[in-house]
Structures are given as C-alpha cells and as structure tokens.
Chain A
Amino acid sequence: MLPRLPYRIQIPMGLVLAVILSVLLVSVVAAQISARSARLEIVSTVQRIVDLLVAQGKPLLAQDDTWRAFTLLRNTAALLPQTGKGQSRAALLDAQGRFLAGSDPLRLPTGEQALGVLINGRLLPTTSDAARPINLTTPDGGMTLVEPIRSDDNQVIGFVFAEVDAAVFAPDWAALSTPALIGAALAIIVLVPLGWLLGRRMARPIAQTADCIAQIGRTDPVQLQLLLPQLQDPELDRIAGAVRQLLIETSAAKANEKRALSAERLAAVGRITAAVAHEINNPLAGLITATRTLRLHGDAPDTRDRSLDLIERGLQQIRTMTTALLPQAKVEDRCLTPDDMQDILTLARATAVQHAVAISSELVQQFELCVPSTVFRQVMLNLLLNAIKAAGQAGQVHASLSADAHKVNMVILNTGRHLSDDRLQRRLTTDDGNDPNGFGLWICHEFAVRYGGGFTAALAGDIPRPFTTRLSFWLPNLTHHDPQKTAVD
C-alpha cells in the first residue's frame, strides 16, 4: 500500500516507521540491560533488608514477640520491591523454622512450618540446611533468601526469610518505553512535517515530469520541453532526459507527419483534379455529340433547339459539379424535372451504344421532384455511366426515377458483377484516389450525406433478374416539407 502513496506521504511515514523501529530496538536492548542491572540492585536491596531484620529480629525472637516482629516486618517489608503488589514478602522464623510473623500474614501464616516444606510453591531448606545463608533462585527467576539469626553464643534462634517473585525482576516496559515513546512522539512531531516538505520537494520534479508526459500529444512538444524541470539528481535527470528525448522525437515525428500530410494533400488534390477532369469529360462528350448533331442537323429547328438546350444543360452540369467540389460554395439550383432524366439518358446513350448496352428507363412521379437538379443530374449521370461500364458488352441497364411525398429516389439496375452494399461502403471509405469509378461513387455518397439523403446497394436476393446490381440514391423531397422553398443549397 505504501508504494501507492505519494512521496510527500511516503517519506514522513517512512521516517515515522524508522523512528518507531528504532524505539522498539532501543527499548528491547535497554530492557535487557535494565533487567540485568535491576536484578543486581534488587538482590542487593533484599540482602540489606535481610541484614536489618537479622539485627532487629534477634531480641524479638528471644522474647517470642509476634506482634513486634509483625510490626518490624510490616515496616521493613515496605522497603522490599513491589511489596504493595504482593510480589515480595519477609518473615521471621523461630528456631524450629515456623513463622513467628510475616509481613503478609495470609501468605506467611503465623505458627505454620516454613523450613523444609513447600512455601508458595518453593521448597525451602530444612532448619539444618538453613544454618548458613541460603539464596535460592527459582526456575521462573524468583528469589528466596533464608538467613539464620544467631544468639551471642552462636546458637541459631531463628531465621529471616525473604521472598521476591519473578515478576519483580521483569523489565518494567511501561517505565522503559515511556521516555522512548515521548522521544518518538517528539521526533514524529518534527519528522512528519519535515518529511512532508521533503517529500513534496522530491515529488515536485517528478510531478512536473509526469505532467509533461500526460500532455504529450495534446500540447506542442517544444513547449513541453520548456516545462521539463532542470534536475541535479542523476536518477531523476535520467528520467527527465528520457522524456526530453521522447519529446524531441515526437516533435520530429509530428513534423514528418505534417510533411506527409502535406504531400498526401497534394496527391489528393492531384487525384481530385484528375477525377474532376474525368467527370467533366462525360458531359463534354455529350456536348461534342450535341455540337455534331447541331452541325449535321442544325437546320431543323427542333433538333437545333434541342441540341442547344442540351449544350446549355451540359454546361450548367459542369458548372454545378465544379461548384459542388467546393464544400463552402453556395450554389443556387432549380428543382429536377422529367426532362433532366431524358437529358441524362441522352448523354449516356452514346456510351451505351459503344458498349452495346441496352438502356431502359422508368419515371414514377407522384409528387414534384423538388431536389437540386444539378446534383441529381450529376448523380444520375455518374450512376448510369458506371452501370453501363459495369454491365459490360451486351449488358442491360435500367434507370428508374420516382418521387413520393418524402423523397426523390433514383434506382439504377445493371447486369454484370454484383456490387453488394458492404462492397459499396468499403469502396466509399477506401482511400483509392486512382479509381475514377470509385471517386464517382464517392461523389454520390458525399451528395447523399450533404443533402440528407442516402446511397445504398441492395442485397443480391432483392434484385429482379436479369439484373445483378441495384444502386439506390435518394434525396429528401423538399416539396412536402416546405412548399415555398426552392431547391437552393
């Protein structure tokens, strides 16, 4: 969990942990030393008290004065360690080793045998063994002292008994740890804010570097390099250096990308120019045909007027198409008429004748064809020419224009290879500027998107025989929604 925390928290916490660990270690070592010296001190104290009792108890034993022996022991035992907690006690024993009196009469009962029997779980020496001073250490660390009291003529008239439980010798953890804890607390009080400041100071360049890394891709790498901190720490400087190198490489990559994009744009412009030339070429072919017709049959008024109209609409189509290629251009247009469809069929027939393709058409007009005529003419011509090419030699192409209240729909069916909707969509999204057919389809798609219509291919199962491909282009019929509106883009 600690590594997940920020440095300004990690560092003070680490310092605090270090202090606590030090306190624990020092306390343990101090406890060992203290316990050792405390035991020596306790043993010395008990021995001095025993010596005092030997001197003071002598006349009391001689007089068999239990009460005064008790008062002596009660007062003297107060000098023994932890007497108040019942962890040490003393007694005077008579010559037979019985308690004359004890500082704790309930544990050292007057008149009971003491020497040679178990007292508080400890087997005391017999009266004969206790003729010399005896210091017993119990397995748990407790201590029992028995010292004889002798008369002036060296006769044993009684004994002093002193007992200290092991608990007295145990380290006083509370006393030992209190100063250490106070020291630790003071250290923590100082170290926590200091560590926080150090952590913040340490983390600041890292945070700056991290911020720079986070902004890569969103901010100019050159500006980001200026935000990178200048560090003296070699490890942090390596990180900052790596980031700096990354930014340099990113700058270079970005510049290369710009250059590539620029080249790509230039290429795209070239492709568009080629496509535009291709698209203009179609109506130009029609215009040339109309011109020839005019030259050959211009004397006939109908033929002359029809050819001139054809020439005018062809030129208008060229103008509209070039305008449509400029996304921001505003082009005023009229609504589509059934004559427009006838124009397109006339324009396409020459190509159809070349490929021996049979063209049939159909007009189902329930409502006005209120869609931009130039756009729709361009689309119809594109689709028709593409269908003728796709149908191949001796193929069939059928064009159907219908209008209902909501939309004006152009359907082109052709024989030849099937073009599925998936394939159509892939072709529309494929960046293949060298495919003139693809570009024509793309233009249709762009018109559909721009004018809120649609451009789809039907499933093979939904196409009537003998046709294999059915493309549908439609735009919203503006008549129904806004009768006053002209087909103005």
Chain B
Amino acid sequence: MQRRTLLEFGVSWSLLQTSAQAQDRQRAAPLRIGLTAVILADQAAFLTRWSDYLGSRMGVAVVFVARESYQNILDLLLTDQLDAAWICGYPFVLHQSRLQLLATPLFNNRPFYQSYLIGQQGKQGLLSGWSNLRNQVLAYSDPLSNSGWLVAQAQLRAVGLTPRDLRRSFFAHGHRNVAEAVASGLAQAGCIDGYVWETMQLQKMAAVEQTVVLWRSDWYAFPPMVAKRNDNNPALWALGEALQSMTKDEQGASLLRALNLTGFAKPDAALFEPIKALAASVNMIRA
C-alpha cells in the first residue's frame, strides 16, 4: 500500500514537473506573428521596433514572420507554425470557421479600406476603367487578396469581361509589386489595396508616383489580425490588448504613423459580411 502510494506520488510528481516545464517553455517561446502584403512588411528596422514594442507590452517576445504569399501565411497559421497573422479579409471569410479575430486596424479612424484599379500615369485616356480592359494586361496582387483579386473578379464580371478577354493577367505576389508592374508597363492596369497605395504615395515611392487611380471600390473591412480559433494562448489576448493600446503612448502612436494607421479596434466579424457576399457573388464561397 505504501509502496503503491509512493509510486503514485512519484508518478504524479513527475507529471507535475513535466507540466511545469512545458508551461515554462511555452512562456519563454516568442509569439510568432505572420505578415502578408496587406502592409509594407519589408521594412526590417520598423518590424524590429514594432516587435520590441509589443514584446515589452506583452511580456512575451514577438517575432514577425513575413511571407510573400497569403496562402503561405495561412498554411503556417493553420498548421500551428504561427500564433497569429495579419491576413486579408478574403482568406478570413474563406476560413472563418477556423480563425478568430484579434484586432481590426483603423485606417483614417475607420476599420475599412478600398480596392483600387490603377493605371499608368498619363495614359488615362487609353484606359479609364474596367470596361477598357479588353486585350490589356492586368496585374493582380494575390489569389487570396480581396482588393487585389476578389474585387477585380466581381468588377470584370460586372462589365461583362472574362479573364480570357484580357491579353494576359498575372499575380505580382504583393500589392507593392502591382504598383511596380503597372509603373514599368509590364501591365496596363493593376488591382491594389487602396491602403497600401496610399501608404506608398505617402512615402513617395517611385512606382506609385507613375500610377494613377482609375477606380475605387466600395468600403470593405480592413485586413484583420487573426489567430487560430480555440487557441487559448494568453499571449494572444495580450497581443490584442497591446495592439488596441498603441494609441495610448507616444511610441505606439509613432509606430502607427509609420504604418499609416490610426489604431487598432476590437474586432467585429460582422464587418466582413460584404467580403463574404462578394466572394459568394463570384462563386468563390458558399454564402
């Protein structure tokens, strides 16, 4: 009896030890946040400042992981290789059942943005909108981008064009590349995230200087910060709080200015209904 009790006590103690060690490891592991082309994520110095800022607020180290493709980030998130990700609204609605919203960025104090159709500066006379795209080359951003793909599909359909009516279309693997493709003449038009285009213009990037907005879409929910549903990592809650609190200190406000955002708000899944409806309209999702 005593031997059995001792054995049970020993096993329990070992389990307790293992659990504590696992919790320590989990506490020590950095929070990995995936970034996509929804922002200009190739500014290493800024990302370092931002991760340091969030880490200091959350008490957990933060590591940003940038990928060119939305699908790559989504795959990493859904396979637990990332803790959170800043993705587009379209992949969110596609995988809404598996994802939870952490925060919604505010662009000009609103959680909305637009999709732009851009063309080359000085050639507005030849190309003024969607109806002129026949036999032209059109650059998309990403097949999982709302502004850089889904909206364009709906508009092409609205003006009675199919992808075959275009001379060629291609994915530029990022909104910024869309602007460069149009500026260089590789494509006559491009579908781009309006927030990214405005931010590029704010930063006086050469590519965007050579482009002009031909068309602006309705307002859609801004690409959200998401995590895998049912992930109870307390750092995720802290991440949401830290993001929403960035306006409260100068350092956070500075980072927001660099992002050309005015803050982060509590998420509201209802904001994404228009995207869901848009996806349903082009048969990409069952409404």
Residues of A that sit less than 8 Å from B by CB: 64-68, 70, 74, 101, 105-106, 109-112
Contact = CB atoms under 8 A, between A and B. Distances in A.
Nearest to A94: B168
B167 interface: yes
Given A67-B139, A67-B172, A101 B186 contact: yes
Interface in B114-131: none
Nearest to B183: A105
A106 B137 CA distance: 12
Contacts of B137: 109-111
**B167, B168, B184: which has the most chain A beta carbons within 10 Å?**
B168
B173 interface: yes
B185 A70 contact: no
Interface in B149-184: 167-168, 170-173, 177, 181, 184
A106 B167 contact: no
Contacts, number: 36
B187 interface: yes
Interface string B199-227: 00000000000000000000000000000
A73 to B, nearest CB: 10
B168 A66 contact: yes
B168 A70 contact: no
Interface in B16-43: none
Nearest to B184: A105
Contacts of A110: 137, 167-168, 170, 186-187
Contact of B186 (A64, A66, A112): A66
Nearest to B120: A106
**Shortest Cβ-Cβ A-B pairs, 10 listed:** A66-B170, A111-B168, A111-B167, A105-B185, A105-B186, A106-B185, A67-B172, A110-B137, A70-B186, A105-B184
B29 to A, nearest CB: 34
Given A67-B139, A67-B177, A109 B171 contact: no
A120 to B, nearest CB: 15
A106 B181 CA distance: 11
Nearest to A104: B185
B173 A67 contact: yes
Given A110-B137, A111-B168, A67 B181 contact: yes
A202 to B, nearest CB: 66
A462 to B, nearest CB: 109
Contacts of A65: 170-171
29 contacts: A65-B170, A65-B171, A66-B168, A66-B170, A66-B186, A67-B139, A67-B170, A67-B171, A67-B173, A67-B181, A68-B173, A70-B184, A70-B186, A74-B184, A101-B186, A105-B184, A105-B185, A105-B186, A106-B185, A109-B137, A109-B185, A110-B137, A110-B170, A110-B186, A110-B187, A111-B137, A111-B167, A111-B168, A112-B167
A74 B181 CA distance: 11
A74 B184 CA distance: 10
Nearest to B172: A67
Nearest to A110: B137
A213 B185 CA distance: 84
B166 to A, nearest CB: 8
A405 to B, nearest CB: 112
A241 B167 CA distance: 96
Nearest to B135: A111
Contacts of B177: 67
Contacts of A68: 173
Contacts of B168: 66, 110-111
Contacts of A106: 185
Contacts of B171: 65, 67
Contacts of B170: 64-67, 110
A27 B201 CA distance: 50
B127 to A, nearest CB: 14
Nearest to B167: A111
Nearest to B136: A111
Nearest to B137: A110
Contacts of B181: 67, 70
A161 to B, nearest CB: 15
Nearest to B173: A67
Contacts of A74: 184
Given A66-B170, A74-B184, 14 more contacts: A66-B186, A67-B139, A67-B170, A67-B172, A67-B181, A67-B186, A70-B181, A70-B186, A101-B186, A106-B185, A109-B137, A110-B168, A110-B170, A111-B168
Contacts of B173: 67-68
Nearest to A66: B170
Contacts of B184: 70, 74, 105
A327 B172 CA distance: 126
Contacts of A70: 181, 184, 186
A70 B171 CA distance: 12
Contacts of A67: 139, 170-173, 177, 181, 186
A109 B187 CA distance: 9
Contacts of B172: 67
Nearest to A71: B177
B226 to A, nearest CB: 26
B135 to A, nearest CB: 9
Nearest to B181: A67
A238 B139 CA distance: 92
Nearest to A101: B186
A67 B172 CA distance: 5
Interface string B232-254: 00000000000000000000000
A68 B181 CA distance: 11
Contacts of B186: 66-67, 70, 101, 105, 110
Nearest to A98: B168
A226 B168 CA distance: 101
A156 B241 CA distance: 56
